[in-house]
Structure 1
Amino acid sequence: MGRIGETDLADRLAPSGRGALLVQLSFGLLITGLAIGLRAVIDAIAPAAGPFSLGFPAVLIATLFGRWQAGLLTGALTLLYSWYFILPEQHSFLLKSPDDMGRLVLATINYAAVLLIAELFRRAVRRATQERDRELAERDLFLAEFDHRVKNNFTLVAALLDMQRRRTKDAETQEALSSALTRVESIARAHRHLYRGGAASPGNVDMAVYLEELSAALAEALFLRGAITLHCVCDHAALPRDRAVSIGLIVNELVTNAAKHAFAGRESGRIEIRFETAAPGWLLSVRDDGVGLPAEPKPRKDGGLGQKLVDGFVRQARGTATTETGPLGTKVTVALEA
């Protein structure tokens, strides 16, 4: 019901204020014409039945959508019409019975009451709408400021990690800082998608766009150009931010691991990221055509941190991971719940 009161034809058709009265009077005449037309149909079935009854909804509608001016015009015209054409004597303003004067006065009072109530309701809804719009504008301003600060924080953290990576001479430290940098950038990219305003719905991230941009950034960061290529094939799906971040970090870890270890002794290779809709949820897969995993994995310099992170991110994304490996390459598939 509140949305009915929000519709103001004068605001919509004459937003500058010029011509507002013309819109109100035109709408009042339109409602009056409809009421009189309906009255003629009723008179064909039951002549003189309820002479003032149609005036009440007509005044109500005219006031709610066209303000009190339209309601007043509609009430006056429908009242005069009923007086002249329906009450006896018909086609005359003379009243045949003294009781008709009482009916006329009572109808006038009721029309005025309907107009007053409808106008008060319309104004109350209008005030509530303006207050709501003001609060929404303040919230949007706050979110924009918050978004800007978070972006700056991500940029600052990434810049500090990159600066430290460039300064250090130790290869292992450089590798660790590079991994941390790509993880931060993956989270920052999901954040940008969340607040960009083009999401499928508030709080969600379009996974196709997100993973395609993530793969492009990984290709640039890992120098996957020419000989080793990175491909991304994704279905569009709107997922909550937290799950999108976890999936992005899974992809980050798996692609980084494949780029570093899958093509040992080779100059060319292909890494493919797929995100597909599969009932009852989605399938994420990262495949490479490298040398496959060794039967007895060597101890990692990072103590297996990458694999632990993948396992943790898979749990956060509400998924189950399986790995297939052989001399033709490795494929990691994560089945995600709906």
Structure 2
Amino acid sequence: MQRLAQYDVSRQFLTRKGQIGAQYIFGLLCAVAMVGLRTIIDLGAPTSGPFALIYPTVLLATLYGHLRAGITALVLTFLWAWYFVLPAPASFAFVDPTDSARVLLNLSCCIVLIIFAEAFRRVAHSTVEQVREAADRRLTLLAELEHRTKNNFALVASMLEIQKHRLADPALHQPLDDAVGRVRTFAEAYSNLDLEHAGQSEVAMASYLNVLLDRLEQAAVPANVELYREIEATTLPREIAVAIGLYLNEALSNCL
């Protein structure tokens, strides 16, 4: 239903002429479809509701084919219904004197319908574009934030390495090595997402956490300690996956 609401017959054409041509053709096809359906109805109920099918036809043509398609469908279907369906058939003459007012009223209603349908289509299209642009900006900012976060982790690890080399007492090297390992694990939590889930909004948690736990075991878990894992195969948004990875790293580091 969401795809149908965003459908546009001219979107796939790159040139302006192609888009305009597609709109006129779509209006023509809508008119032909209505004429075919009306012909079938006339087999059982001739001349009944001559303009009834024009309204949904014009509405669909305008919503999916723009204003040109709606006007094309209106002109073709209205003239056809007036000439072939409205008494007298095969003539623009009126059998009933009140039919002229009925024709004018139906035409006015169809024009109002086209105007509102086109206005609604433009507002809906503009809203969808605004939402899409906002989502693109959010993804861009999130990618930049993750990139800067990884760089900050790398910078902190480098500073700790420099500080370790400045210390003459080897007994102080081990705490700094532990700190560097934790910082690098934080950075790898982001790097793993970028390498394996680039361009994806959802992260497969089983593979992500398995890789993260492997690196944690190598960096911070003693050789005599073995981690037991039971991870459900599920997916989560990238932001939540990163938060879980960082929390898991901190929790295990504090326990060990």
Bin the TM-score by the shorter chain: 0.7 to 0.9
Number of the residue aligned with 2:248: 247
- Secondary structure of the 2:39 match is helix
Identity %: 31
Deviations 1:70-97 (A, max 9, x none): 0000011110111111111112222222
* Structure with the higher fraction of residues in helix conformation: 2
Give the distance between the partners of 2:126 and 2:89, measured in 1 at CA: 44
Q: Does structure 1 residue 153 correspond to structure 2 residue 152?
A: yes
Whichever residue aligns with residue 65 of structure 1, its letter is Y
Number of the residue aligned with 1:70: 69
Number of the residue aligned with 1:123: 122
**Structure 1 segment 177-256 matched on structure 2, within 5 A:** 177-193=176-192, 198=197, 202=201, 206-212=205-211, 215=214, 219=218, 236-238=233-235, 240=240, 241-249=242-250, 253=253
- Secondary structure of the 2:98 match is helix
Whichever residue aligns with residue 247 of structure 2, its letter is S
- Secondary structure of the 1:108 match is helix
Give the distance between the partners of 1:194 and 1:166, measured in 2 at CA: 32
Q: Does structure 1 residue 310 correspond to structure 2 residue 255?
A: yes
Structure 1 residue 122 displacement after superposition: 0.9
The 1:231–1:17 alpha-carbon spacing in structure 2 relative to 1, beyond 3 Å, is: farther
* Structure with the higher fraction of residues in strand conformation: 1
Number of the residue aligned with 1:7: 7
Number of the residue aligned with 1:45: 44
Instruction: Structure 2 unaligned segments of length 5 or more: list them.
Output: none
The 1:216–1:209 alpha-carbon spacing in structure 2 relative to 1, beyond 3 Å, is: same
Give the distance between the partners of 2:230 and 2:154, measured in 1 at CA: 27
The 1:127–1:197 alpha-carbon spacing in structure 2 relative to 1, beyond 3 Å, is: farther
The 1:196–1:101 alpha-carbon spacing in structure 2 relative to 1, beyond 3 Å, is: farther
Are the aligned partners of 1:27 and 1:62 in contact in 2 as well (CA < 8 Å)? yes
Number of the residue aligned with 1:106: 105
- Secondary structure of the 1:98 match is coil
Pick the structure with greater CA Rg: 1
Give the alignment's TM-score, normalised by structure 2: 0.82
- Secondary structure of the 2:10 match is helix
Are the aligned partners of 2:212 and 2:245 in contact in 1 as well (CA < 8 Å)? no
- Secondary structure of the 1:90 match is coil
Deviations 1:138-196 (A, max 9, x none): 32332233222212111101111222234434333211111111111222222334566
Whichever residue aligns with residue 105 of structure 1, its letter is L
Of structures 1 and 2, the one scoring higher in RCO (CA 8 A, sep 6+) is 2
Instruction: Structure 1 unaligned segments of length 5 or more: list them.
Output: 254-308, 312-338
Structure 1 residue 51 displacement after superposition: 0.7
Number of the residue aligned with 1:272: none
How many residues in Structure 1 have an aligned counterpart in Structure 2? Answer: 249
Cα RMSD after superposing both structures = 3.3
Are the aligned partners of 1:199 and 1:205 in contact in 2 as well (CA < 8 Å)? no
- Secondary structure of the 1:15 match is coil
Give the distance between the partners of 1:74 and 1:7, measured in 2 at CA: 18
Give the distance between the partners of 2:48 and 2:191, measured in 1 at CA: 66
Are the aligned partners of 1:212 and 1:232 in contact in 2 as well (CA < 8 Å)? no
- Secondary structure of the 1:46 match is coil
